[in-house]
Each structure stands twice: as C-alpha cells, then as structure tokens.
C-alpha cells in the first residue's frame, strides 16, 4: 500500500546510515545497483553516475542492472558507465550492498524484487512521494526533481568529486526528469546542481541532441500516425478535458521502431491546450499497455495511476493497463473526477 502522507525527505540519520553502508565495504565486497523496469534517463543516469562514483572509491566488484530485457534505449547508449551493466539474470545473487534507484515500489523492480532479501543492506534512492518505504535505508526525497539529486548529495557526502563522466550521467537524469528544466521541480538548487555538473566540462548541447532530439525517420512517421488518431474529450475530468492516443506493437513493427521511441510521444500529446490530462497507451503485449499520464494541475494523476495499480507524481504518473485500449481509457475516465485537486 502507498503511504498516506509523503515522506519528509531523508534526515541526518538516513544519510549517516547510507554513508556508513558504503564506507563499510571491504575490497572484496560486491555491490549491486538496480533501477526500475523500462529505465528512463533518471533511472539509468543516477544509477550509472553513482556507480562510477563507487568506482572512484575503489569498489571493484560492482554490477548495475534492471529488470526485463537488457536493452538500453538508443538515446542512452553513449552514457559513461554502461560497462557496469549486466543482464538481470547474471546479477550477483548475494551482494554485500544493494542500491536501488528511482523505483517507488518493489513492483517496479520486476524479477529483481526477489533480490532484495540479501545479506547486505538495501539502500533506496528515490524521489517519488508514493514510495512505499521498502529497503533498509531510505534516501527518498519527494521534493527532489530527480533521483540524481539524491545520488549527487550522497556522492558529495562520500567525498567523491564530480568528474565529466559522473556529471554526464547525472545531467541526463536531471534534464530528463525536469523536462529540460521546464517543470516546477526546477528549483534554484536544481540549477545550482546543473552548474556544478556543467563545470566539469560536459556539453549540454551534445547531450540534449542525443537524448531528446535524435530519432529515426521511421519514428517521425510513426508519431504522425499515432498523433493523427488522438482523441480530445473536453467534458472529461469535470470539464478540464482529456486527450489520449495509443500505439500498438503492430504500429512499431510497421515502422520498424523500438518501443523506446514512444517515450517521447506523451510530450507531443500533453501540449493540447484544451485538456488538463493527457494519456498515451503503449502496447507492451497482447491486451497489455504501459500507460503514461500527465496533468497540468487540475487532476492529480498519481491518484489515478495508484487507483489503477501504478504510481508516480502529481503531474506525471503511469500504470499497466489490461484489456483493449477503450476499456483502459474507460477506467481512467472513471478515476479522473475523484482525483481532482480541490485545494
């Protein structure tokens, strides 16, 4: 069950416990880094950036992994630290320390959830208000714009200096989760962190082009088709409006595209002026959809997603939908009214 009130953020005892867990590692200790299924820029960037930091501390036996197929989405295939990645099936069975990134609940860890019952402590770095409090040490800060904000603070407390490789990873995480510094979570502290990262010499133009602005032509054509079938429902969410579309596995196959290209689709849909809530259904199997929800503020989409078995943030959330697309949207529509933000 999600906790009722958001966690307040890590306190000094939590930071001290996390630092002690890392400082207590011996030369032969094995460390396993994990992040959520279908990893995004924050999951991969915070995990690999932190992993490179552990390398700098002399941790030699170090693996990073995520559940599902061991495929890194194309926009992230240049990230420093990719050499730390192993398929989930090959990950350490009894690590001395597990560090988990950007996962609000064990369900987001797929088959790796079973790996949390290990001899070593489980450290959880996250920024979801819906975090369930799993693991032994929680560094969960719902006020943080990205998990990488938490990761950078832990690295600083471990006296690991930022270098260009670590910074590139953390910068990817920060820009993806803040929508390139557009969302309200973009506080002065976020820009101060960005300044520290840029001071290492990383090139933001090159990084943004790789991560946000490079797609195969087939993805452009696919977007045209999928956006062309978007539907606008002004009466939904008590008149605040819903816009939605869907993309099937057949759509991907026809255009010769990998699923990752669909991650950017929600950004094209959510700019619809006439709708507070935007939704994209991405087919992941027969009658199974990865659903992305976005809000402009009238609806708390994390409540919608949580009611339907998922989670996320107030303005961005998701869940796995089952059945045909219309049935999934019916269920979303039915949850919108009770997720209206009243205050």
The string over 187-215, giving b where at least 16 C-beta atoms fall within 10 Å of a residue's C-beta and e elsewhere, is eeebeebbeebeebebeeeebeebbbeeb
What are the CA-CA distances from residue 196 to residues 169, 307, 315 (Å)? Answer: 13, 39, 27
CB nearer ligand 5GP, residue 104 or residue 112: 104
47 binds ligand 5GP (CB under 6 A): no
Contact with ligand 5GP (CB under 6 A) among 32, 34, 104, 140 = 104
316 binds ligand 5GP (CB under 6 A): yes
Q: Within positions 237 to 296, which residues make up the interface with ligand 5GP, using CB under 6 A?
A: 266, 292
From 4-12, 60-68, 101-109, 229-237, give the range in contact with ligand 5GP by CB under 6 A. 101-109
223 binds ligand 5GP (CB under 6 A): no
CB nearer ligand 5GP, residue 236 or residue 304: 304
Contact with Mn ion (CB under 5 A) among 96, 102, 152, 335 = 102
Instruction: Give me the least distance between CB of 177 and Mn ion, in Å please.
Output: 5
75 binds ligand 5GP (CB under 6 A): no
Distance CA 84, CA 103 (A): 19
Instruction: Give me the least distance between CB of 224 and ligand 5GP, in Å please.
Output: 21
Burial class (CB in 10 A: 0-12, 13-18, 19+), 13: exposed
Other CB atoms within 10 Å distance of the CB of residue 64: 26
**Count of chain residues binding ligand 5GP (CB under 6 A):** 14
Q: Binding mask 174-213 vs Mn ion (x if CB under 5 A, - otherwise)? A: ---x------------------------------------
Distance CA 122, CA 258 (A): 33
Residue 109 — φ and ψ, nearest 5°?
-100, 5
39 binds ligand 5GP (CB under 6 A): no
Distance separating the N- and C-terminal Cα atoms of the chain: 24
Contact with Mn ion (CB under 5 A) among 14, 42, 96, 152 = 42
Angle at 17 between CA 56 and CA 105, to 5 degrees: 90
Q: Which of 312, 317, 338 is nearest to 130 (CA)?
A: 312
Other CB atoms within 10 Å distance of the CB of residue 71: 14
Q: Binding mask 139-158 vs Mn ion (x if CB under 5 A, - otherwise)? A: --------x-----------
Burial class (CB in 10 A: 0-12, 13-18, 19+), 285: exposed
| Closest residue to bound Mn ion by CB | 42
DSSP 275-327: -SEEEEEEEEETTEEEEEEEESSSB-HHHHHHHTT-EE-SSEEEEEEES-HHH
320 binds ligand 5GP (CB under 6 A): yes
Distance CA 42, CA 227 (A): 26
150 binds ligand 5GP (CB under 6 A): no
45 binds ligand 5GP (CB under 6 A): no
- The answer for residues whose C-beta is within 8 angstroms of residue 109's C-beta and 6 or more apart is 34, 36, 37, 67, 100, 103, 115, 116
126 binds Mn ion (CB under 5 A): no
| Closest residue to bound ligand 5GP by CB | 318
108 binds ligand 5GP (CB under 6 A): yes
Cβ atoms 74, 6 nearer than 8 A: no
Contact with ligand 5GP (CB under 6 A) among 46, 63, 65, 105 = 105
CB nearer ligand 5GP, residue 59 or residue 317: 317
Query: Applying CB under 5 A, which residues contact Mn ion?
Result: 42, 102, 147, 177
Query: Applying CB under 6 A, which residues contact ligand 5GP?
Result: 104-105, 108, 266, 292, 310-313, 316-320
């Amino acid at each position: 069950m999600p906790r009722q009130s958001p966690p307040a953020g890590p306190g000094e005892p939590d930071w001290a416990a996390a630092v002690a867990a890392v400082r207590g590692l011996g030369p032969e200790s094995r460390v396993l880094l994990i992040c959520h299924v279908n990893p995004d820029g924050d999951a991969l960037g915070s995990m690999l950036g932190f992993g490179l930091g552990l390398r700098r501390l002399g941790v030699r036996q170090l693996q990073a992994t995520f559940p599902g197929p061991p495929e890194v989405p194309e926009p992230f295939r240049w990230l420093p630290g990719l050499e730390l990645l192993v398929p989930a099936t090959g990950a350490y069975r009894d690590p001395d320390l597990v560090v988990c990134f950007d996962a609000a609940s064990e369900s987001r860890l797929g088959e790796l959830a079973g790996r949390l019952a290990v001899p070593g402590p489980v450290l959880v770095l996250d920024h979801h208000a819906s975090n369930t409090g799993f693991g032994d040490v929680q560094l969960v800060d719902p006020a943080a714009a990205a998990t990488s904000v938490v990761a950078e603070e832990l690295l600083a407390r471990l006296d690991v200096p930022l270098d260009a490789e670590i910074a590139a990873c953390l910068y990817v995480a920060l820009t993806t989760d803040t929508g390139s510094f557009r969302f309200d979570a973009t506080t002065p502290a976020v820009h101060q962190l960005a300044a520290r990262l840029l001071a290492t010499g990383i090139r933001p133009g090159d990084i943004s082009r790789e991560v946000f602005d490079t797609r195969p032509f087939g993805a452009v054509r696919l977007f045209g088709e999928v956006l062309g079938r978007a539907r606008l429902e002004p009466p939904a969410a008590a008149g605040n409006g819903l816009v939605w579309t869907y993309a099937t596995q057949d759509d991907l196959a026809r255009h010769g595209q990998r699923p990752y290209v669909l991650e950017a689709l929600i950004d094209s849909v959510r700019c619809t002026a006439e709708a507070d809530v935007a939704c994209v259904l991405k087919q992941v199997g027969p009658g199974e959809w990865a659903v992305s929800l976005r809000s402009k503020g009238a609806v708390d989409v994390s409540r919608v997603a949580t009611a339907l078995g998922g989670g996320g943030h107030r303005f961005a959330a998701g869940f796995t939908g089952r059945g045909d697309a219309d049935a999934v949207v019916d269920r979303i529509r039915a949850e919108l009214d009770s997720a209206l933000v009243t205050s």
